Chain A
Amino acid sequence: MTLANLEIGATAKVKKVFQKGAISKRLMEMGIVPGVSIEVIKAAPFGDPIEIRVRGYNLAMRRNEAESIEITR
C-alpha cells in the first residue's frame, strides 16, 4: 500500500521510499524516512496534490510522488 491510497484523515507508518529519480532523495531529506508516521490531511480541489503532516509540519505532494512512499498501518 502506498501513501497515495491512504484515505484522508488516516495515519500510517512509512515502510519504504521507492527510488524514483531525484524525488526519493528529496522526500527523505524532508524527513520522510522509514519508520516515521504520516497523516493525510486533505486533497486539493481536483483531488491532487495531497496535503500530509509529517514530523510536525505540513507538506503538499502530488499523488505521483505519494505513490513512491510505501506505508504500513
Chain B
Amino acid sequence: MRDSTNTKSGSERFAQNAPELLVALAGNPNAGKTTLFNALTGLRQKTANYSGVTVERKEGVWKVGEDVLKLIDLPGLYSLDATSLDEKIAREVLMGKLSDLPKPDAIIAVVDATNLERNLYLVTQLLEFGIPVVVALTMVDLAEKQNLEIDPQKLTELLKIPVIPIKTRRKGGTEELALKALEAAKSREKPDVSWIPSGSDVQEDFEEDIHLSLSADEAANKQIFARYNFISDIYQQSVNAVDEKEAKFSEKIDRVLTHKFFGLVILIAVLLLVFQTIFTWATLPMDLLDSGFGSLGDFVGSQMAEGMLKDLLVDGVISGVGGVLVFLPQILLLFLFISILEDTGYMARAAFLLDKLMSRVGLHGKAFLPLMSSFACAIPGIMATRTIENRRDRLATILIAPFMSCSARLPVYALMIATFFAGQTVFGFISLGAVLMLAMYALGIFVAVIVAFVLKKTILKSPPPPFVMELPPYRLPNFRTVMQNMFTRGWLFIKRAGTVILAISIILWALMYFPRHEPSDSIISYQTANNVGRNNSQPDDQHLKSKRLEKSYAGMLGRTIEPAIKPLGFDWKIGVAIIASFAAREVLVSTLGIIYSVGDDATEESPTLISEIRNATNADGSQVWTPLTALSLMVFFVLAMQCASTLAIVRRKQILGAGLYLCFHI
C-alpha cells in the first residue's frame, strides 16, 4: 500500500535534488490543514495508506524558490498521546519511527485562529519532538468576523517560534510561511521548550476550591492543566476579544439542524436524498461502464486467437473485474456526498443526533457514517471506520457493516422479485415488490442491531465507549477538498478491492472452466458461435456453456454443497451461482443465465431468464423454484453471503454469522 498514485513522475523528478527536506503538517481536525496542504503543494501530491492501517498518508512536493521540500500531511489530532490510531501514527512519524520516512526536519503547526486555546495545546506538544516548529495561523479572516483581534507578533514573542497568519483567500501568507519553514528546516534548531510548564509545581498554584483528582495519571493531568493555564495567559495577552452574547452563525443553523424533532426529520430527508441520487444518477454511467466492459471483452475476444488465454482474459479478468468496477460511479457519488457532509460539518451533527440510538446497541455515534456507506458497498464503509477510536467499537462496526444491503445485492433482489412477486400488491395498492425490497434492507439492519448487541455483550465487551466529539462550525464545502477526498478514496477503493477482485475472478473463472469437457457433437456450433461474438450466441452454444459449467469444478462443488443448501430450497445450480457470486454479488444473475442456457448477458429484467427460472424442474418433475425459494435466496443474500473483496478486508470470522443463519432458516 505504499505505491504512489497520481504524481509518481513528480516525486521521481524531484527526488534527484537530494538531500530532500521533510516538513510535517500537523494540526487539530477542522483547522484548515487540508486546504493549506493543497495550497502549498498544488497538484504535486499523492495519497496512500500507512502500511497495515487505513490511515490516509498524504505527501506532496512543495517548491520554495530554488528549494524543494517534501510535505507530509499528518492526520487531524487533538493531542499526541496516542489514544487513537491517527495519533499513534502521527507520533511515530514525528519520532522518525517509520522505516520509510526520515524524521521530519520541521513541523508546520496549523492553528485555527477561531479556536486558539485548544489548538495551541497541540502546539505545546509538537514542540517536544526536538524539531523546529512554525505556526501557520489559519482562518484569520474568519476570526476577524467574529471580532477576535489576534496579534501574531505578540504570539511569536510568547511562543518563541514564528507565527504566520494565513488568509483563506488568495493564498495570503503562504510565501512568508514558505520562507520561515525553509529556514527552520535548514537550521534544525531544537525549539526552546523551557517556558512550557511541566506541571510538577501545579499543586501550589491551585486555588482553594479547585483540585485535580489524585491518581495514577495525576502527573499527566497536572501537566495538561498547567499548559492550559499557560495558554490562557498567552491568549489574554495576544487576543483582543470583543465579547458578544449574540449566538454564532453555526448555533443559529443548529437550532434547526439538531432540533429534537426537526433535526431527525432533516437527517432522514438528507439520507433519502443521498440514496435516491446515488441510485438514479449513477445508473447512466454504470450502464455505460457495463457496456464498455462488454465491448472491451468483445474486442479482445475478436482480436485474440481461440484458446485458454483468451477465455481467461475475456471471461475471467475483463468480466470479473468489470463486474465490480461497474459500481464505481455509485461509490464515487457516495464518497462525494460523504465528503460534502464532512466538509460542511454536518456529519458530526448526524453522529450527535443518532448517538443515543447507536449506544443502545453498544455502538458509537460515529459508526453511523461507515454503516451508511455500506449501503453502497461495505468496503468504503469499512474503510471509514478508522475514525472510531475504541478498537472494540471499530471491530463491532466492521463486523456488522456487511449486513447493510449493498447495491450489488440489488440485482439479485430485483431478479427474484421480478420472477415471483411481480404485479402482486399488498392491501390492493402497495406493490409487494417494493415492500419486499424494503424488507430486505430492514432485515439487514435488524440483524445488524442484534449482532452488534450480542457482540458487545460477549466477545467485544467493553465499557460504554467515551463519546467526546467536536461539533465544528458550519462551513461552505471547499470544492477542491471535496473532489480530492472523493477521488483519493475512490482510488483507494479500486486498489484495495481491485487486487483481490482480480485474483478471485481468476480463481472462479478457473473453477468454472476446468476440467475442459468438450462434447464432440457440439464442437462445430461452439466454434461458430465464438467467432460471431458473445452477444449473438446461438441457443446450441448456450446449451453447451450450461453443460460445460455443469461438468466443471464449480459444478462439482455445487453438487457437493447441495446437501448443505438443500434445506434452504436450493439445488446445485443455485449452489454454483452462489459460489460464482463470491466474486461480486450480482454475478449470481449472470451465472443463472449461463446455467439456464439463456446466455451470460442475462440481466435481472431479461424475460427469458425469468421464465426459465419459473419453469425449472427437479428430476422428479417438481418445481425447483417456489416463491419460498426466492425469498430464502434473498434472505440468504442479506445475511449469509459477503463478497470475497469484503471478506478480504474484514479478514475476521464473519462466517460465524453465516453458520448461525444456516441453522435458523427453514
Q: Write the residues of chain A forming the contact surface with B, with a CB cutoff of 8 angstroms.
A: 15-19, 21-31, 33-36, 41-49, 51, 55-62, 64-65, 72
Report yes or no: B356 in contact with A18, Cβ–Cβ below 8 A.
no
Chain A minimum-CB-distance residue to B115: A57
Given contacts A29-B79, A34-B212, A51-B352, contact A44 B467 (CB under 8 A): no
The distance from the CB of B213 to the nearest CB of chain A, in whole angstroms, is 5
The distance from the CB of B503 to the nearest CB of chain A, in whole angstroms, is 40
Report yes or no: A24 in contact with B217, Cβ–Cβ below 8 A.
yes
Give the docked Cα–Cα distance between A28 and B260 (Å).
29
Binary contact readout B207-228 vs A (1 if CB under 8 angstroms, 0 otherwise): 1011111011100110011001
Report yes or no: B356 in contact with A44, Cβ–Cβ below 8 A.
yes
Give the docked Cα–Cα distance between A41 and B357 (Å).
20
The distance from the CB of B578 to the nearest CB of chain A, in whole angstroms, is 41
Give the docked Cα–Cα distance between A29 and B335 (Å).
31
Report yes or no: A55 in contact with B118, Cβ–Cβ below 8 A.
yes
Report yes or no: A45 in contact with B81, Cβ–Cβ below 8 A.
no
Report yes or no: B118 in contact with A49, Cβ–Cβ below 8 A.
no
Report yes or no: B83 in contact with A42, Cβ–Cβ below 8 A.
no
Give the docked Cα–Cα distance between A25 and B260 (Å).
30
Total number of A-B contacts with CB less than 8 angstroms? 146
User: How many positions in chain B have a CB within 8 Å of any CB in the partner chain?
Assistant: 53
Report yes or no: A17 in contact with B213, Cβ–Cβ below 8 A.
yes
Contacts of B118 in A (CB 8 A): 30-31, 55, 57
Contacts of A43 in B (CB 8 A): 260
Contacts of B264 in A (CB 8 A): 45
Give the docked Cα–Cα distance between A48 and B225 (Å).
27
Q: Write the residues of chain B forming the contact surface with A, with a CB cutoff of 8 angstroms.
A: 78-79, 81, 83, 114-118, 121, 206-207, 209-213, 215-217, 220-221, 224-225, 228-229, 250-251, 254, 258, 260-261, 263-264, 348, 351-353, 355-357, 359, 365, 463-464, 466-473
Give the docked Cα–Cα distance between A30 and B470 (Å).
9
Of A16, A22, A49, A72, most buried by chain B (CB within 10 Å of CB) is: A49
The distance from the CB of B134 to the nearest CB of chain A, in whole angstroms, is 23
Give the docked Cα–Cα distance between A64 and B210 (Å).
22
Give 8 new A-B contacts, CB below 8 A, not counting A31-B228, A59-B469: A16-B212, A30-B470, A34-B225, A35-B229, A46-B357, A59-B468, A59-B470, A65-B468
Give the docked Cα–Cα distance between A29 and B352 (Å).
20
Residue pairs across A and B with Cβ atoms less than 8 A apart, 16 shown, are: A15-B211, A17-B212, A21-B466, A23-B468, A28-B221, A30-B78, A31-B117, A33-B225, A33-B228, A33-B229, A34-B212, A49-B355, A51-B258, A56-B117, A60-B467, A62-B467
The distance from the CB of A22 to the nearest CB of chain B, in whole angstroms, is 6
Report yes or no: B466 in contact with A56, Cβ–Cβ below 8 A.
no
Report yes or no: A45 in contact with B228, Cβ–Cβ below 8 A.
no
Chain B minimum-CB-distance residue to A18: B213
Contacts of A51 in B (CB 8 A): 254, 258, 352, 471
Report yes or no: A31 in contact with B121, Cβ–Cβ below 8 A.
yes
Report yes or no: A47 in contact with B117, Cβ–Cβ below 8 A.
no
Report yes or no: B355 in contact with A25, Cβ–Cβ below 8 A.
no
Of B83, B210, B466, most buried by chain A (CB within 10 Å of CB) is: B466
Report yes or no: B224 in contact with A25, Cβ–Cβ below 8 A.
yes
Contacts of A56 in B (CB 8 A): 114-117
Contacts of A36 in B (CB 8 A): 228
Give the docked Cα–Cα distance between A23 and B121 (Å).
17
